[in-house]
Amino acid sequence: MDISVVVPLYDEVESLPELTSWISRVMADNRFTYEIILVDDGSKDGSWEMIRKLSFDNPFIKGIKFRRNYGKSAALNTGFAATKGDVIITMDADLQDSPDEIPELYRRIVEEKYDLISGWKAKRYDPLSKTIPTKLFNYATRKMSGINNLHDFNCGLKAYRGAVVKNIEVYGEMHRYIPVLAKWAGFTKIGEQIVEHRARKYGKTKFGMSRFVNGFLDLLSIFFVGKFGKRPMHFFGAMGTLSFFTGLVIAIWMIVDKLIKIAHGEKYRDVTSSPLFYVALVAIILGSQLFLTGFVAELVARNSSERNNYQVEETI
Chosen domain end from 185, 202, 228: 228
Together in a domain, 162 and 257:
no
Tell me: do 224 and 237 sit in the same domain.
Answer: no
Residues 148 and 29 reside in one and the same domain:
yes
Does residue 316 fall inside a structural domain?
A: no
| Residue 18, SS3 per DSSP | helix
Per-residue pLDDT at 103: 96
Last residue of a domain, one of 207, 228, 249: 228
Do both 239 and 201 map to the same domain? no
Is 214 among the domain residues?
yes
Q: Are residues 193 and 295 in the same domain?
A: no
259/156 same-domain check: no
**d(C-alpha 239, C-alpha 237), whole Å:** 6
Count each helix (H run) and each strand (E run) in the chain, helices first. 10, 7
Q: Are residues 237 and 90 part of one domain?
A: no
Q: Are residues 131 and 272 in the same domain?
A: no
Same domain for 8 and 63, yes or no, is yes
The range of the structural domain enclosing residue 284 comes to: 233-302
- 156 and 14 in one domain? yes
CA–CA–CA angle 179, 180, 186 (5° rounding): 90
pLDDT at position 134, please? 76
In a shared domain, residues 30 and 110: yes
Rounded distance between C-alpha atoms, residue 311 and residue 227, angstroms: 15
Question: What is the count of structural domains for the chain?
Answer: 2
The answer to whether residue 313 sits within a structural domain is: no
Half-sphere exposure of 235 (CA within 13 A, CB side): 14
Residue at 102 is within a domain: yes
Q: Would residue 48 count as lying in a domain?
A: yes
Q: Domain end: 194, 228, 262, which one?
A: 228
- Contact yes or no for 284/248 (Cβ under 8 A): yes
Q: Does residue 44 fall inside a structural domain?
A: yes
Residue 39 phi/psi, 5-degree rounding, is: -105, 105
Q: What is the pLDDT of residue 85?
A: 95
Task: Give the span between the Cα atoms of 266 and 259, in whole angstroms.
Answer: 10
Q: Is residue 47 part of a domain?
A: yes
> Are residues 209 and 250 both part of a single domain?
no
Check which CATH number belongs to the domain holding 44 and give it: 3.90.550.10
Each residue's pLDDT, cut to its tens digit, for the chain (316 residues) gives: 999 999 999 999 999 999 999 999 999 999 999 999 999 999 998 999 999 999 999 999 999 999 999 989 999 999 999 999 999 999 999 998 999 999 999 999 999 999 999 999 877 666 666 667 778 888 888 888 889 899 988 889 999 999 999 999 888 778 888 998 899 888 999 999 999 887 766 666 655 556 666 667 777 776 777 677 677 888 888 899 999 999 999 999 998 988 888 888 888 878 878 888 899 999 999 999 998 988 888 787 777 655 555 555 555 5
Q: What is residue 210's predicted lDDT score, i.e. its pLDDT? A: 60
312 lies in some domain: no
Contact 48, 65 (CB under 8 A): yes
